[in-house]
Amino acid sequence: MNNNENTPLLEVKNLKQYFDINVGVFKSKPLKAVDDVSFYINKKETLGLVGESGCGKTTVGRTILNLYKPTAGEIWYNGKQIKTKADINEFRKKATMVFQDPYSSLNPRMTVADIIGEPLDVHNLYSTKEERRERILELMDYVGLNSEHASRYAHEFSGGQRQRIGIARALAVNPEFIVCDEPVSALDVSIQAQVINMFDELQDKLGLTYLFIAHNLLVVRHISDRIAVMYLGKIVELADAEEIYSRPLHPYSKALMSAVPVPDPQVARANKRIMLSGDIPSPLNAPSGCPFRTRCPHATEQCAMETPEFKEISKGHFVACHNIDKIN
């Protein structure tokens, strides 16, 4: 174990995830869901990952947990690369996942106790039945479920309660790191607040580190320490949460941040919304060079020729854009 505070808990280096898609009878083409993504997450930190639907956010989360085998790239956890099967198995005791849809992520034929206890069963984390039961009840208590719910089935619960069951399952192995894959987007707004606050509390109490994937910008801003903006399989900007909201540098982030609703009508009227033209291109035929150039108001010839480098502009603020000085 490396206890050095400067070592990030999780580091992702040049991660690529291509899926082969059949076009025609014998031809297949790679779909670049995640294309050369690098970032790190410090201990007890929350990294928010935002972007349009289909930009590869979920794939990043799943590839980190090795649910998909990465096409290329390295994943380092606690100063150790996750490579062999044994590494992955060990890693899964420390890193878990909360899923987007609380309706389909719980097995309808299992009781709540069995759902929450599954990671315990898989990793043999108890010696007696009594110990298992106690651990399950403790977990249910963490997420605010009553102990009498243990013998019920998932379909008897509301969306918010189901998501709590999903969170309890993720906490079962005493993880250090949790990938939250849009954990609140399927819930209604009042429940979203409860669940988000619960994530916050659990982080303080258990010292968790989150990769928080979402497309609701306000939610991400509330919970994240740093935020990464993704576009078409690439991270275009990464900075502190406040920094990226007050001073976005990449033209895509600018457009994105201008779309955040402001609860003050006067300010909202004064703010000018940057409208992007066109749709997100298909990742099957991604544009050459900078992926954003087809919709970027500042695109030049250079953008079509070279892929912009992901470089540090100021401390902790990374941007991938050729014309960063000209625009700002």
> What residues are paired with 28 via a beta bridge?
22
Q: Cβ 52 to another protein, closest distance in Å?
A: 21
Q: Cβ 3 to another protein, closest distance in Å?
A: 26
Which CB sits closer to another protein, 19 or 245? 19
154 secondary structure, DSSP code = G
Angle in degrees, CA 132, 135, 139, rounded to 5: 140
One of 106, 198, 319, 320 touching another protein (CB under 8 A): 106
Instruction: Give dist(CA 48, CA 218) in Å, integer.
Output: 11
105 near another protein, rule: CB under 8 A: yes
Which CB sits closer to another protein, 110 or 274? 110
| Residues of this chain, 169-188, that bind another protein according to CB under 8 A | 169, 172-173
Rg (CA), the chain: 21
Q: 223-228 long-range CB contacts below 8 Å, 24 or more apart? A: 223/46, 223/48, 223/196, 223/199, 224/46, 224/47, 224/48, 225/45, 225/46, 225/47, 226/45, 226/46, 226/47, 226/48, 226/316, 227/47, 227/48, 227/49, 227/50, 228/39, 228/47, 228/48, 228/49, 228/50
One of 15, 33, 60, 65 touching another protein (CB under 8 A): 65
Q: Cβ 201 to another protein, closest distance in Å?
A: 23
Q: Cβ 193 to another protein, closest distance in Å?
A: 24
CA-closest candidate to residue 60, choices 192, 320, 50: 50
One of 27, 69, 109, 326 touching another protein (CB under 8 A): 109
- Draw the binding track, 131-160, toward another protein (x: CB under 8 A; -: no contact): --------------------xxx--x----
Q: Beta strands 209-213 and 46-50: pairing type?
A: parallel
317 near another protein, rule: CB under 8 A: no
Stretch that binds another protein, among 34-42, 93-101, 187-195, 289-297 (CB under 8 A): 93-101
One of 14, 28, 81, 107 touching another protein (CB under 8 A): 107
110 near another protein, rule: CB under 8 A: yes
One of 96, 163, 192, 224 touching another protein (CB under 8 A): 96
Which CB sits closer to another protein, 125 or 280? 125
Q: What is the DSSP string of 199-260?
A: HHHHHHHHT-EEEEE-S-HHHHHHH-SEEEEEETTEEEEEEEHHHHHH---SHHHHHHHHTS
Residues contributing to the site for another protein (CB under 8 A): 62, 65, 67, 88-89, 92-93, 96-97, 99-101, 104-110, 118-119, 122-123, 151-153, 156, 166, 169, 172-173
